[in-house]
Amino acid sequence: MFETEHLLVRKFRDEDAQQLYENHLDDQVRKWFPNECYADLEEAQGAIRFYIDCVNNSHLPFVLGVELKETGELIGDTGISEVEGNPDEAEIGYCIGQKYRGRGYATELLNAMSGFIFSRFGIREISGRVVHGNEASAKVLEKSGYQFVTEEFGAEDDPYGNGMLVYKKAI
């Protein structure tokens, strides 16, 4: 789909299931996204088939694999989903495996993915939501030009009920 200095962002392949599953076994991923982790390899395989179908048909959710160009290893994933009731906005998500964090890959990815979304989908605004306490993800959004706009309480996907920080970036 596109590449950055260090990353190749591409459609998932069936053979990515094991690594996708392992990336989501990470303690930090489980802590901040407990309802987005795969129960087992079979669930990860089903998710990949779903993601491939969505990408092939250009509809949301639009989820891609993130590969480290230097090694060819799948180090994460990124995608967008619709914001109910607002066709001009999408919500971005991303995950970088633990052993690759702290190297600037998440910021590099988010910058490139945001540009890709704006150009590919004609979306005018992208939101990023962060669970209270996930300071690392909030910093990545801020470094990528997202502005804090509000706190959201009562969201179905808030794993702890403590609220979410909402950031936005518009063209």
In this predicted model, what pLDDT tens digit does every residue of 74-108 receive, in sequence order? 999 999 998 877 778 899 999 898 889 889 999 99
* Residues 6 or more apart in contact with residue 163 via CB below 8 angstroms: 132, 151, 152, 153
Q: Which whole-number Å values give the CA distances from 38 to 13, 18, 20, 24, 108, in the listed order?
A: 17, 11, 9, 7, 25
Residue 2 is predicted with a pLDDT of 94
- pTM, rounded to two decimals: 0.90
Residue 127 is predicted with a pLDDT of 93
CA angle 27, 72, 43 (to 5 degrees): 45
Residue 131 is predicted with a pLDDT of 87
The DSSP letter of residue 21 is H
Residues in the chain predicted with pLDDT less than 50, given as ranges, are none
Residue 150 is predicted with a pLDDT of 93
Q: What is the CATH number of domain 2-170?
A: 3.40.630.30
Residue 73 is predicted with a pLDDT of 94
Structure tokens at 2: 């596109």
84 by Cβ neighbours in 10 Å (0-12 / 13-18 / 19+) ranks as exposed
Helix (H, G, I), strand (E, B) or coil at 78: strand
Rounded to whole angstroms, the Cα distance separating 40 from 69 reads 27
Residue 33 is predicted with a pLDDT of 66
The DSSP letter of residue 98 is G
